[in-house]
Amino acid sequence: MIEAVPPFRLRPGLRDARTTSTLGALVALGLSLSRRGILVVLALCIVVLTTVGMSAFAFVLASQSRSASVYHVPIITSNALAYGGGFWLALASASRALRRDRDSGVRDLFAMRARSLGSYLTARIGGLAVLLALAVGGGTLVGGLFAMAARSDVAARTAHATLAAVVFALAFAVLMAPVALAAVGARSRFGGLMTLLTVVALPELVVRAFASVLPQGVASVLAIPSALATLRGALMPGQVDALSALRALVALTVFGAIAIALVRRNAILIMQHTHQELDR
């Protein structure tokens, strides 16, 4: 059982930050923390290059008169961004984030500013979620717009597919933020990577291996990638399925709640360890 955490002990030299902590201010601060580091910059470069490449790919398809394929571009773009640059962005930003915040005094700043662990977690998780949403969601939207411009005769269908892809990207961002922080926020980069890959990829492989003996409605939401794909598929043109979308949202909410609980637990354990060191 986790013991009660003593009050924060402020470090000298930190400026007074006792201001009203609005949600927007907390998320803005978290976003500022989340985009620091050279690896974050490199991951954002991957996102930009992927977006440019997929936008160009839309025009290549259009030039070959494959109009039926153009509306798939935003779907492909959302996958490439989420499991490419988006995954590495989450890893780079969340790696040892909880420990770095303790060592740099960010946690002490929150003690003065917000006086609650919940506010700190809101800033950290919300900031990373916004960063991922801007990168993955924004890139997906740009790819979809270029796909619509490439073939105006299927623009409506492409716009519908773009909407489904953007919803997928935003769901990925909101979920991956706490998942990444839970997996790598208090671990080394390599250990965190292995944990994150295990959390994301291993359940998907297991579900696929036993898909033939599982009900389709259950198998489609037992792993994070499957649940995200089910949500997007339920919103696609010509196959909108409100029940499948709701099922996927419920599963993603459960995954997110578990991840947030683990982030909170890790943050408390780090606080306890810090106070034990100060008491020596």
What local confidence, expressed as pLDDT, does residue 238 receive? 82
What are the residue ranges spanned by the domains of the chain? 23-279
SS (H, E, C) the chain: CCCCCCCCCCCCCCCCCCCCCCHHHHHHHHHHHHCCCHHHHHHHHHHHHHHHHHHHHHHHHHHCCCHHHHCCHHHHHHHHHHHHHHHHHHHHHHCCHHHHHHHHCHHHHHHHHCCCHHHHHHHHHHHHHHHHHHHHHHHHHHHHHHHHHHCHHHHHHHHHHHHHHHHHHHHHHHHHHHHHHHHHCCCCHHHHHHHHHHHHHHHHHHHHHCHHHCCHHHHCCCCHHHHHHHHHHCCCCCCCCHHHHHHHHHHHHHHHHHHHHHHHHHHHHHHHHHHHHHHC
Measured distance CA(137)–CA(132) in Å, rounded: 7
Indicate the angle between helix axes 87-94 and 38-63, nearest 10 degrees: 170
What local confidence, expressed as pLDDT, does residue 106 receive? 60
Please list the rounded mean pLDDT of every run of 10 residues in the chain (280 residues): 42 40 79 87 96 92 72 93 94 84 61 66 91 96 92 87 96 95 79 81 83 77 91 89 92 94 86 56
What local confidence, expressed as pLDDT, does residue 110 receive? 59
What local confidence, expressed as pLDDT, does residue 269 receive? 82
CA separation (Å) from 261 to 144, 181, 232, 265? 35, 11, 26, 6
Would you say 162 and 141 are in contact if contact means Cβ atoms under 8 Å apart?
yes
What local confidence, expressed as pLDDT, does residue 274 receive? 55
What local confidence, expressed as pLDDT, does residue 15 receive? 41
What local confidence, expressed as pLDDT, does residue 63 receive? 82
Measured distance CA(134)–CA(137) in Å, rounded: 5
pTM: 0.83
